């Protein structure tokens, strides 16, 4: 699963570089694409990829990353259904190649010796990379994915964002909280987050529903929230599966089988 962590880390970081704006210039897109490709190469080298591994896993990473970056950027600026298909196809390709290719290659990285004696030292290196990648993807990448879902079902995201201010910041905070609670084994506590969000947004939803007919704001809230929660729970599931299927315990403490 370390390959998946590397891919998600790079995608998440590059999406943060464009988080403040939907429309980006061609020069900015090329710059972000170049940074992303360079980071994928560095990430692959850091986890021990070499030789033929780059023609499968490495190439899949790069193609998936470019399709997601360029497709999602086009979709956010009016590219329509074809651009969304390209974006999600690229992201899906990167995820599948990372899971399948990473398993075939059998990467088994180790934490740098400089981390010995720190809080990270007892942790499995592959889990550290995976959790970091999943957490990074819950920031801007998940925001972009949710916006593309809203566009796909015909809910005007711009209208909802104008009414429910702070959604772009609240979403990542909410997903990180759910992810943290899930990893810590407190998924039940995540229900409190869901309930609290509904209560806090209720006055704004009431104002949005005052006009006759279906409310765009209500649909934006419901669809956006469920899409956001599913992404967070998906991250929890990935980390849980990696913890169960990995080559050793998640935490290595002498004398403690954890």
CB-hemisphere CA count at 13 Å for 234?
A: 12
Task: Name the range with the highest mean pLDDT among 100-114, 214-228, 242-256.
Answer: 214-228
Least confident of 70-79, 175-184, 193-202: 193-202
145 has a pLDDT exceeding 70: yes
The pTM for the full model equals 0.81
Average pLDDT for residues 237-253, to the nearest whole number? 60
Please provide the average confidence, as pLDDT, over all residues in the chain. 77
Residue 11 is predicted with a pLDDT of 94
Residue 210 is predicted with a pLDDT of 54
Cβ–Cβ < 8 Å for 145, 172: no
68 has a pLDDT exceeding 80: yes
Residue 80 is predicted with a pLDDT of 83
pLDDT band at 158 (very low <50, low <70, confident <90, very high): low
Residue 195 is predicted with a pLDDT of 74
Three-state secondary structure readout of the chain: CHHHHHHHHHHHHHHHHCCCCCCCCHHHHHHHHHHHHHHHHHHHHHCCCCCCHHHHHHHHHHHHHHHHHHHHHHHHCCCHHHHHHHHHHHHHHHHHHHHHHHHHHCCCCCCCHHHCCCCCCCECHHHHHHHHHHHHHHHHHHHHHHHHHHHHCCCCHHHHHHHCCCHHHHHHHHHHHHHHHHHCCCHHHHHHHHHHHHHHHHHHHHHHCCCCCCCHHHHHHHHHHHHHHHHHHHHHHHHHHHHHHCCCCCEEECCEEC
Q: Distance between CA 243 and CA 5 in Å, rounded?
A: 13
Chain segment 3-41, per-residue pLDDT in tens: 888 999 999 999 998 865 556 677 888 899 999 999 998
Q: Distance between CA 146 and CA 229 in Å, rounded?
A: 10
pLDDT band at 253 (very low <50, low <70, confident <90, very high): very low
Provide the 10 A C-beta neighbour count for residue 204: 15
Least confident of 39-43, 85-89, 90-94: 39-43
The more confident residue out of 143 and 111 is 143
Q: Where are the domains of the chain?
A: 2-107+118-247
């Amino acid at each position: 699963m370390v390959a998946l962590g590397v891919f998600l880390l790079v995608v998440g970081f590059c999406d943060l570089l464009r988080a403040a704006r939907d429309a980006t210039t061609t020069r900015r897109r090329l710059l972000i694409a170049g940074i992303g490709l360079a980071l994928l190469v560095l990430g692959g080298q850091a986890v021990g990829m070499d030789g033929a591994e780059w023609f499968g896993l490495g190439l899949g990473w790069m193609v998936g990353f470019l399709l997601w970056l360029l497709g999602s950027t086009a979709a956010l600026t009016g590219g329509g259904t074809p651009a969304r298909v390209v974006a999600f196809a690229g992201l899906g390709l990167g995820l599948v190649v990372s899971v399948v290719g990473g398993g075939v290659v059998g990467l088994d990285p180790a934490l740098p010796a400089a981390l010995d004696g720190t809080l990270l030292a007892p942790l499995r290196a592959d889990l550290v990379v995976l959790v970091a990648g999943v957490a990074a993807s819950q920031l801007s990448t998940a925001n972009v994915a949710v916006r593309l879902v809203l566009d796909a079902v015909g809910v005007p995201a711009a209208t909802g964002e104008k009414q429910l201010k702070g959604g772009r910041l609240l979403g990542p905070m909410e997903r990180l909280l759910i992810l943290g609670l899930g990893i810590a084994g407190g998924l039940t506590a995540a229900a409190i987050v869901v309930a609290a969000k509904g209560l806090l947004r209720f006055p704004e939803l009431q104002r949005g529903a005052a006009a006759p007919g279906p409310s765009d704001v209500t649909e934006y809230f419901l669809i956006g929230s469920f899409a956001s929660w599913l992404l967070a729970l998906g991250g929890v599931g990935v980390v849980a599966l990696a913890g169960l299927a990995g080559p050793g315990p998640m935490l290595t403490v002498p004398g403690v089988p954890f």
